Structure 1
Amino acid sequence: MDSKYIYLIFTRTGTWLSQAIGAFSETKYVHASVSFDSSFRKMYSFGRTNPNNPFSGGLVEESLYGGVYRKFRRSECLIYRVPVTEEQYNSLKREVEIFLTEKHKYRYNFLGLFGVLLNKPFKRQNYYFCSQFVSEILIRSSIYDSNKIPELIRAEDLLKVKNKEMMYEGFINDYYRFDCLYSLS
């Protein structure tokens, strides 16, 4: 039986929000996304729906090669591959598909970020920030277990996902060259 994998992508773009979160949390990677394939052309998270407008946030289908990552060329990333069972993989796919079918109703949870800083959950229906979304769908799919509720989970907390394998850390612009070399070895 072939192994199934999901990918957790942690980034820091240099946007004002990324810089602010990094300053308050004292962590390098402040944004979390999930992907089902190693091309990273489809990653799912909550973030900017328009790379040019920092106040337009919601459920996003990101690409490591476009959008905010193209706009902020010095973005850095940390990529993990996580082996999962077929049941976990299919469950996670369903969770993402449920969100995507009603994408228009979801918004970015800016207020929830303050709740994380104060360690006070601020749950609003249909509002998420990146690590809240990623943790919630991973928890529902039995891939991640935490003693925190998703409204208090930071991107750095997701580094505790078990059985992960680091694939890459560095500048996103350098990833393509690395990936080509990695594929040849």
Structure 2
Amino acid sequence: MNDNYIYLVFSKTGTWLSRLITIISKIKYAHSSISFDKSFTTMYSFGRLHPNNPFLGGFVEENLHEGVYKKFIASECLIYKVKVSEIEFNSMKKEVNRFLEEKYKYKYNFIGLFAILANIPIKRKTHYFCSEFVSEILINCNLYESNKTPSLIKTNDLLKIRNKEIIYEGYINNYYVSEELSIVE
């Protein structure tokens, strides 16, 4: 029987929005993503659709070594793995696939991102910010509990997920996965 893991990736890229979020909210990692494999070549979140355009955002498939992470070479990350049941794993993949099937209808929730600073939940049907998306996936699959609605959950709230194991913290450009998929620093 194989163990099933999901991976939560928290990052600080150095983009103007990332810097603004970390300054205002006093959190280290402004961005969160979810991945189903430890190569981190496919992570899911809400962010920039194009690395050079900070104003066009939506549902994104990210790669830890490409896009914004490659553009901002001093990017830092914290990666957790969370052991899940096969049912939980498949349920989360199904939730993410729902977004993938209609990814072009989803937009970045800039309004909600700034409303969270005033503790005002603004839920827009097809608009998300990163931690809102990740928390909704985790909540819907019974892996994360919060008394907050996803539109009020910040990345540092997600650090409280149960059954997590840290696998890396540091500069992204110092992290890679070998061909055998064992983690190397």
Say yes or no: TM over 0.5: yes
Seen in structure 2, the aligned counterparts of structure 1 residues 179 and 21 have a Cα distance that, compared at 3 Å, is farther
How does 1:78-157 map onto structure 2 within 5 Å? 78-157=78-157
3-state SS of the aligned residue for 2:176? helix
Deviation at 1:3, TM superposition (A): 1.1
User: What's the counterpart of residue 67 of structure 2?
Assistant: 67
User: What's the counterpart of residue 43 of structure 2?
Assistant: 43
Seen in structure 2, the aligned counterparts of structure 1 residues 183 and 54 have a Cα distance that, compared at 3 Å, is closer
Seen in structure 2, the aligned counterparts of structure 1 residues 183 and 119 have a Cα distance that, compared at 3 Å, is closer
Deviation at 1:125, TM superposition (A): 1.4
3-state SS of the aligned residue for 1:160? coil
How does 1:156-175 map onto structure 2 within 5 Å? 156-175=156-175
Deviation at 1:56, TM superposition (A): 0.7
Letter paired with 1:151? S
User: Is 2:25 the counterpart of 1:25?
Assistant: yes
Q: Return the alpha-carbon distance in structure 1 between the equivalents of residues 92 and 130 of structure 2.
A: 16
Deviation at 1:178, TM superposition (A): 9.1
Q: Return the alpha-carbon distance in structure 2 between the equivalents of residues 59 and 141 of structure 1.
A: 19
Letter paired with 1:89? F
Per the normalisation by structure 1, the TM-score is 0.96
Higher helix proportion, which one? 1
Q: List alignment gaps of at least 5 residues for structure 2.
A: none
Seen in structure 2, the aligned counterparts of structure 1 residues 30 and 2 have a Cα distance that, compared at 3 Å, is same
3-state SS of the aligned residue for 2:81? strand
Q: Return the alpha-carbon distance in structure 1 between the equivalents of residues 129 and 119 of structure 2.
A: 15
Deviation at 1:123, TM superposition (A): 1.1
Q: Which runs of 4+ in 1 moved over 2 A?
A: 177-184
The answer to whether the Cα contact below 8 Å between 2:76 and 2:171 also exists between their aligned partners in 1 is yes
3-state SS of the aligned residue for 1:80? strand
Per the normalisation by structure 2, the TM-score is 0.96
Sequence identity (%): 59
Deviation at 1:122, TM superposition (A): 0.8
Letter paired with 2:85? T
Q: List alignment gaps of at least 5 residues for structure 1.
A: none
* Mean CA deviation greater in 59-68 or 138-147: 138-147
The answer to whether the Cα contact below 8 Å between 2:40 and 2:64 also exists between their aligned partners in 1 is yes
C-alpha deviations, 1:42-65, integer Å up to 9, x for none? 000000001000001000000001
Q: How many aligned residue pairs are there? A: 184
RMSD between superposed Cα atoms in Å: 1.7
Q: Return the alpha-carbon distance in structure 2 between the equivalents of residues 54 and 70 of structure 1.
A: 15
